[in-house]
Chain A
Amino acid sequence: MIDGETLARIDALQSRYIRALDTKNLAAWSDCFGEAASYICIARENEEQNLPLAIMMDDSLARIHDRVKYVTEIWAGTFEDYQTRHFVQRIECVPRATDLVAVESNFLVAYTSARGRSEILVAGSYQDEIDLGHGEARFRAKKAILDTVTTPRYLVYPV
């Protein structure tokens, strides 16, 4: 059983994560991860068939920092920008170890193009491991599994 205070800390992290992405604040996005961390965005087709290939694979905090650089420095000024809105629903929380909780959530991400049209970018589920032992809650591992195997446009920002 997870107490209300712990759930509040988990939800605060999820909100911080959503706000970081929906305001395109990539530094704040990377700050949602702890020292030992990974971020993976993978198609459900690969995940279910035990195929390891991902769309984004940052298997350390250094790689997560490098992704911030991709978006803010390397690709800047080239891609067709878009605004996202993440809708995240917590489904299950399971304690894994002291101060470590596994959290599963559904997500739906809407995107709005420069022409002002909004559509669904991706639907899927997060499988997260959240570290509660070092002050503010942070992700130790976050995996975004995309039901949307064929994305309607190329993804620039993490999900």
Chain B
Amino acid sequence: MRNDTALDLRWPAKFNEIPKEVFHRADVYRLELQRIFAGPEWHPLAHVAEIPEPGDLKTGFIGEVPVLTVHGDDGVVRVFANSCPHRGTQLKTCARGRADKIECPYHRWTFTNRGALIGAPGMGDFPQDFRKEDYGLRVIRSGQSCGLVFATLSGEAPPLDDYLDDTGEHIARAMGGDGRLNFLGYQKVSFACNWKEYSDNEGYHGPLLHAAFRMLKFSQGEGTQFMTPHAHKVNSATLTVPKASFLEDSSVVEGRDPKLAPHNIIVSLFPVTIITRNLDVISIRYAMPISPDETEVHYAYFAHADDDADLVKHRVRQASNLIGPSGFISLEDGAVFNRLHVGAHSEGNVGFQKGVKGRIEAPYTLDKGDEAGNLIRWEHYRQAMGFVRD
């Protein structure tokens, strides 16, 4: 069988093996931008808590396509291409900002924050058939779940609710039950790895890589771990957190949210976004592929609208210590992402073993501590990319 792409790449017949080439080949990366990032997938761009007021906006990327998420003065949040419909100039360069109007600096074309063209200098000299209505900001299809704004570059993506499968209740629980959040800030980092290495984390490594997991004696209780048909992964379990006696100040690892007993909730949406709730830390990790060899991750953190001042302070302290690129139970992830990427330049395939009992299909429930679920992500990836098994 031939791949239905022009790429010369052999995909192993064994279901649990992945060719290392996909982690660094430039031609594979270009095809991913077309078939996955511009393909029929939805991409979280911002939570409304990051742009709470009319006029607030946030820039971002879907793959390498620059986008603007704008809270319009009519209260509607829209996603636009961050590119002037005239000559294509990038419109906004700030990470987050405010704009009553959006003006392109090049020729001063000006748009409302709902995206309509207000005017352009010298319009009297434009072609007779020029119509302002045709030159609004390019609208990108968007939708919301629990206040999280998603967008897709593809007309073929299923409706957002269908796409999210059964992740909804877990996303809601991670976000305080209803997604009424207040934004606390970002941590941003670049990893020297491919986006698929960044997003290939699983439950097997947790207590093995992360010494703090063992030292804190975290133990997962009631919960579930499953894969959905659109290759999303949900890991949600209660957490027993003994007093951290090895720390001088263990208050940063206490669970204090009166509305949710300590939980570990990780919703990994295909392809790269991860929504987490670890103890009282509410976080969305937005990730952007920069090249085959670099992935930039923005960790956004939130409090819940009903929190009192003490609980907000606790969430800030916990988020600034526990999770994230320099978090004391998570820093090692970054080390492994980078080391995976160096190792991927050696010959052959990577193999998944823990929990693999033959070929699996979604929906699929995993034992906690297994890595087999990621094979459903990989099967979704293989099919989207048109690679054919040997």
Q: Decide: A75 and B316 in contact? CB cutoff 8 A.
A: no
User: Nearest-CB distance from B255 to chain A (Å)?
Assistant: 18
CB neighbours (8 Å) of A60 from chain B are 249
How many A-B Cβ pairs are below 8 Å?
Answer: 108
Give chain B's interface secondary structure class.
mixed
Give residues 54-69 of A contacting B (CB, 8 Å): 54-57, 59-60, 62-63, 65-66, 69
Q: Which B residue sits closest to A76, measured CB to CB?
A: B211
CB neighbours (8 Å) of B215 from chain A are 74
The answer, among B184, B331, B332, for a CB contact under 8 Å with A52, is B184
User: Nearest-CB distance from B214 to chain A (Å)?
Assistant: 10
The answer, among B186, B249, B319, B321, for a CB contact under 8 Å with A43, is B186
Q: A74-B215, A153-B334 are in contact. Are A69 and B246 (CB under 8 A)?
A: yes
Q: Which A residue sits closest to B213, measured CB to CB?
A: A74
Distance, CA A57 to CA B249, complexed state (A) = 13
**Any A CB within 8 A of the CB of B385:** no
The answer, among B326, B335, B338, for a CB contact under 8 Å with A55, is B326
Q: Which A residue sits closest to B249, measured CB to CB?
A: A62
Q: Which A residue sits closest to B246, measured CB to CB?
A: A69
Q: Decide: B188 and A43 in contact? CB cutoff 8 A.
A: yes
The answer, among A46, A59, A154, A155, for a CB contact under 8 Å with B185, is A46
Q: Decide: B296 and A66 in contact? CB cutoff 8 A.
A: no
CB neighbours (8 Å) of A3 from chain B are none
Distance, CA A66 to CA B250, complexed state (A) = 9
Distance, CA A45 to CA B186, complexed state (A) = 8
**Any B CB within 8 A of the CB of A98:** no
Q: Decide: A66 and B247 in contact? CB cutoff 8 A.
A: yes
Contact stretch, chosen from A11-19, A20-28, A129-137, A144-152? A144-152
CB neighbours (8 Å) of A155 from chain B are 325-326
**Any B CB within 8 A of the CB of A5:** no
Q: Which A residue sits closest to B94, measured CB to CB?
A: A45
CB neighbours (8 Å) of B211 from chain A are 73-75, 78
Total interface residues in chain B, CB < 8 Å: 38
Q: Decide: A149 and B247 in contact? CB cutoff 8 A.
A: no
Distance, CA A62 to CA B95, complexed state (A) = 35
> Which range holds the interface residue count of chain A?
20 to 34
The answer, among A57, A70, A78, A154, for a CB contact under 8 Å with B189, is A154
CB neighbours (8 Å) of B248 from chain A are 62-63, 65-66
Distance, CA A78 to CA B289, complexed state (A) = 25
Give residues 93-142 of A contacting B (CB, 8 Å): none
* Interfacial residues, chain A to chain B (CB-CB below 8 A): 43, 45-46, 49, 51-57, 59-60, 62-63, 65-66, 69-70, 73-75, 78-80, 149-156
Task: Kindly list 17 other residue pairs between chains A and B, CB separation below 8 angstroms, not including A52-B316, A53-B186, A78-B335.
Answer: A45-B188, A49-B96, A49-B185, A51-B183, A51-B186, A53-B187, A53-B319, A53-B320, A74-B211, A78-B209, A150-B296, A151-B188, A152-B190, A153-B191, A153-B192, A154-B326, A154-B334
* Interfacial residues, chain B to chain A (CB-CB below 8 A): 95-96, 183-192, 209, 211-212, 215, 246-249, 252, 296, 301, 316-317, 319-321, 324-326, 328, 331-332, 334-335, 338-339
23 interchain pairs (CB within 8 A)? A43-B185, A45-B186, A51-B184, A53-B320, A55-B187, A55-B324, A56-B321, A60-B249, A63-B321, A66-B247, A66-B248, A70-B331, A73-B211, A78-B331, A78-B332, A79-B331, A149-B188, A150-B189, A153-B334, A153-B338, A154-B335, A155-B326, A156-B326
